[in-house]
Amino acid sequence: MEKIKMTTPLVEMDGDEMTRILWKMIKDNLLEPYIDLKTEYYDLGLEHRNETDDQVTVDSALATKKYKVAVKCATITPNAARMDEYDLKEMWKSPNGTIRAILDGTVFRAPIVVKGIEPCVKNWKKPITIARHAYGDVYKGSEMKIPGGAGKVELVYTAEDGSQTKELVHEFDGPGIVQGMHNINKSIESFARSCFSYALDTKQDLWFATKDTISKKYDHTFKDIFQEIFDAEYADQFKEAGIEYFYTLIDDAVARVMKSEGGYIWACKNYDGDVMSDMVSSAFGSLAMMTSVLVSPDGYYEYEAAHGTVQRHYYKHLKGEETSTNSVATIFAWTGALRKRGELDGNKDLMDFADKLEKATIDTIEAGEMTKDLALITTIENPTVLNSEEFIKAIAKRL
Ligand code: NAP
Ligand code: MG
């Protein structure tokens, strides 16, 4: 077969540990035999980040602005143990955080749904995609312990001209706690735009929820900003695409999500997204089947798996032991990026290839051939447990 040509490169961000091993196997067995793969390669493996003083992470994000589409392997976020293990010059920041700060995007996480891996919630038939607003609220809060005795806490806003606006939080007459948090309209606006445009992109309804009845200024501002942007910029396009924007209270949303059959994007404030994305991913079966894409309001896309570098499996691999690590989410990161590249370049062959690779992957699992993590939870009888490489080869055979 003649290999599929690419006109514009993808930004390829390589990573660490077991996922770095899978990365190469995927390229060797599933991509390079069929595609004349054009990528601009950035090695975000921890060693190379350390050598370049993390400049490589910044460069890869800037390249994503240039080419608009990136695919990223899972990477280590260093902690104290990694400082010793890799003899690091500094405790480098999370690459995902650095990239997100440069691209200013929203992360959408969606499960890959296959027959035989059934969600705990039996009426969930289609994926539920969670969009988490990743700025502010309790994650950038200031807190205080009130030691006791009488005293009052106030919010004070001091304008540039020195004038002050005050709001009483509480008059304490004993010990207690207090927290101040913030958000900025600009960040909420770009979150809203990312959500609306990703809904159009994937032709799914968008749900959004806050507690605006209780939080009449804070949460209500989120509700208002979403509605204003929707009305001004997206209402017509949604109508044309046959999709809906649906706002409700957060508790009502949670109740409806449980009764729904899925198939929509659920936009969440920062804390709701943190909590609900873990609930949704575990209810759908496995973190190894969860994809993640960072979408910027300017139309840049970075695809990856939601899971980490699977360190425990990597140490087994280093000892020469066999591993059965699930590569599905990493494969879908590639297919997501290739499909988007194809879409932007008008490259139909590339888009078709992405569809075929996804189908071959799903068919392999549905035929009972899977990695150990899935074999433990599948409803398929007598599944064949494959090791990391055999699973990828089984997909290649179908492809
Ligand atoms: P992890 O890599 O997601 O793995 C946690 C456990 O989940 C694994 O030990 C394994 O369970 C299971 N698992 C996850 N992915 C799997 C897969 N593809 N196939 C089979 N099982 C899978 O999380 P972690 O061990 O907490 O983190 C390891 C490193 O990843 C850390 O250095 C962290 O900083 C980094 N990390 C990176 C990202 C990212 O780049 N986006 C995200 C999260 C974490 P069993 O051991 O029971 O088999
Ligand atoms: Mg969480």
Enter the pTM of the model.
0.91
The answer to whether 252 and 266 have CB atoms below 8 angstroms apart is no
- pLDDT for the residue numbered 167: 96
Which class would CATH give 119-141+183-284? Answer: alpha beta
Judged by phi (left if over 0) then psi (alpha if -120 to 50, else beta), residue 60 lies in: alpha
- pLDDT for the residue numbered 249: 97
Among 282, 290, 309, residue to substitute to test ligand 1 (most atoms within 8 Å of Cβ) = 309
Among 310, 312, 323, residue to substitute to test ligand 1 (most atoms within 8 Å of Cβ) = 310
- Sheet containing 205-210: give its strands across: 39-43, 10-14, 69-72, 301-305, 290-295, 106-111, 128-132, 264-268, 205-210, 245-249
The answer to whether 79 and 27 have CB atoms below 8 angstroms apart is no
Q: What is the pLDDT of residues 53-70, one digit of tens each?
A: 999 999 999 999 999 999
The answer to whether 98 and 58 have CB atoms below 8 angstroms apart is yes
131 DSSP β-pair partners: 108, 267
Ligand 1 and 19: CB distance under 6 A? no
Six-digit token string for 134 = 């990743």
Please compute the mean of the pLDDT values over residues 139-163 and round it to a whole number.
93
CA 398 / ligand 2 centre spacing (Å): 36
CA 108 / ligand 1 centre spacing (Å): 18
Among 287, 315, 332, 386, residue to substitute to test ligand 1 (most atoms within 8 Å of Cβ) = 287
Q: What is the pLDDT of residues 97-129, one digit of tens each?
A: 899 889 888 999 999 999 999 998 999 999 999
Q: What is the pLDDT of residues 263-274, one digit of tens each?
A: 999 999 999 998
Provide the CATH topology of domain 1-114+299-399: Isopropylmalate Dehydrogenase (3.40.718)
Q: What is the pLDDT of residues 357-399, one digit of tens each?
A: 999 999 999 999 999 999 999 999 999 999 999 999 999 999 9
Q: What is the pLDDT of residues 4-63, one digit of tens each?
A: 999 999 999 999 999 999 999 999 999 999 999 999 999 999 999 999 999 999 999 999
Residue 148 pLDDT more than 90? no
* Spatial separation of the C-alpha atoms in residues 80 and 83, rounded to whole Å: 5
- pLDDT for the residue numbered 105: 82
Instruction: Point out the ligand nearest to the CA of residue 21.
Output: 1
Instruction: Point out the ligand nearest to the CA of residue 315.
Output: 1
For ligand 1, atom 40, name the residue with the nearest CA.
74
Six-digit token string for 26 = 């995927």
- pLDDT for the residue numbered 134: 81
* Spatial separation of the C-alpha atoms in residues 368 and 18, rounded to whole Å: 23
- Residue-range domain boundaries for the chain: 1-114+299-399, 119-141+183-284, 142-180
Q: Do domains 1-114+299-399 and 119-141+183-284 have the same CATH topology?
A: yes
For ligand 1, atom 24, name the residue with the nearest CA.
308
